[in-house]
Chain A
Amino acid sequence: MNAFWIAVIGSSALAFAIKVLGASVPESVLSHPRILRINNLVPVALLTALVAVNTFADKTKLVIDNRALGMAAAIVLLIAKAPFPVVVLGAALTSALAYRYF
Chain B
Amino acid sequence: MSVKRDSFSVSITVGAYGSAFGAAAVAADFSVLQACLLSLLLFSGASQFAVVGVIAAGGTPLSAIATSTLLGTRNGLYGLRLAPILKLRGWKRIVAAQITIDESTGVALAQNSENEMRKGFWYTGFGVYLFWNLFTLAGALGAQAIGNPSAWGLDAAVPAAFLGLLWPRLSDRKSWVLAALAIVLALTLTPFVPAGIPIISCTLLAIIIGWRK
For A, the interface residue count at a CB cutoff of 8 angstroms equals 78
Q: Are B210 and A19 in contact (CB under 8 A)?
A: no
What string of 1s and 0s marks CB contacts (under 8 Å) between A37-77 and chain B?
11111111111111111111101111000110111011100
Q: A16-B98, A67-B155 are in contact. Are A48 and B80 (CB under 8 A)?
A: no
- Interface check B71, CB cutoff 8 A: yes
**Interface status of B94 (Cβ within 8 A of chain A):** yes
Closest to B170 in A: A44
Closest Cβ–Cβ distance, residue B101 to chain A (whole Å): 9
Q: A23-B79, A53-B57, A91-B160 are in contact. Are A47 and B42 (CB under 8 A)?
A: no
List the B side residues contacting A39 at CB < 8 Å.
73-74, 77, 210
Could you count the A-B residue pairs with CB atoms below 8 Å apart for me: how many are there? Answer: 317
Tell me whether B202 and A45 are in contact (CB under 8 A): yes
| Contact in complex: A78, B164 (CB < 8 Å) | yes
Q: Of all chain A residues, which has the CB nearest B78?
A: A22
Summarize A's interface: helix, strand, loop or mixed: helix
B130 within 8 A of A: no
A8-B30, A53-B57 given; 16 more Cβ-contact pairs under 8 Å: A3-B55, A4-B29, A6-B61, A11-B42, A11-B47, A14-B69, A14-B72, A18-B75, A19-B75, A22-B77, A30-B77, A44-B178, A51-B162, A62-B191, A83-B13, A95-B156
A contacts, CB < 8 Å to B? 3-8, 10-12, 14-16, 18-25, 27, 30-31, 33-57, 59-62, 66-67, 69-71, 73-75, 78, 83-85, 87-100
Q: What are some 22 contacts across the A-B interface (CB < 8 A)?
A: A5-B34, A7-B51, A7-B64, A12-B42, A15-B69, A19-B72, A20-B79, A22-B75, A24-B93, A46-B202, A47-B162, A50-B162, A50-B199, A51-B166, A54-B57, A54-B159, A56-B187, A59-B195, A67-B156, A85-B17, A92-B149, A95-B156
